[in-house]
Amino acid sequence: MAARKKQKVHIQFVANGEEVEVAFAPHKTLLEVLREDMALTGTKHGCELGECGVCTVLLDGQAVLSCLTLGLDVEGREVTTVEGMSVNGELHPLQETFADLGAAQCGYCTPGFLLVAQELLEKNPDPGREEIKEALAGNLCRCTGYIKIYEAVELAAARMRGEEAEPARETVYGYE
């Protein structure tokens, strides 16, 4: 047990658009490397067993569970975390709609949902409700009942397509 901690590995990769060099114990997961060795605590953990989706990050643009990915496996690759979604303080449209529609209640699952949604919209700029549900099915949220999350993804998608979309009245006030 103690032996595994003896020697750290050094790797280089691109984190949120920046070249980084990190040293860590080789058994560490990407989740642990991000949170413990790089202070990127925006990535959360909910189970460390691949069950909840909370720790999702993008690896070369593809959503992966950072708790099931070894830190060593990202050498030379590109990792995007929630911290990398906004550029120069400007929020990604998904971050904006998640905030504006109450799609983040406690906010703990939010980074994972945001990144999965980002991946979805990059592949499919106009997903239907069922496609959104399918794409988000690996992420658990205990607060929202998912509905505000779907609505936030739909609103962001519309805006990213260049439409001047506003939330539906029922989304914010309920049905008459």
Interface contacts to other proteins, rule CB under 8 A: 1-2, 5, 25, 35, 39-49, 51-52, 54, 81-83, 85-86, 91, 95-96, 98-102, 104-111, 114, 132-134, 136-148, 150, 170-176
Tokens of 70: 């070894």
CB of 164: closest distance to other proteins in angstroms?
Answer: 18
CA atoms within 13 A on the CB side of 34: 30
Nearer to other proteins, 52 or 59 (CB): 52
Nearer to other proteins, 13 or 112 (CB): 112
Nearer to other proteins, 23 or 47 (CB): 47
Nearer to other proteins, 69 or 139 (CB): 139
CB of 56: closest distance to other proteins in angstroms?
Answer: 12
Nearer to other proteins, 41 or 76 (CB): 41
Q: Where are the alpha helices (DSSP H) in the chain?
A: 30-32, 93-100, 110-123, 129-136, 147-160, 169-173
CB of 128: closest distance to other proteins in angstroms?
Answer: 13
80 has which bridge partners? 58
CB of 115: closest distance to other proteins in angstroms?
Answer: 10
CB of 168: closest distance to other proteins in angstroms?
Answer: 11
Least Cα distance to 96 among 108, 110, 109 occurs for 110
User: Are 81 and 57 contacting, i.e. CB atoms less than 8 angstroms apart?
Assistant: yes
CB of 107: closest distance to other proteins in angstroms?
Answer: 3
Nearer to other proteins, 12 or 41 (CB): 41
SS3 call for 130: helix
Helices 147-160 & 129-136 angle (0-180, nearest 10): 120
SS3 call for 157: helix
If you search the block for the tokens 């993804």, which residue do you land on? 153
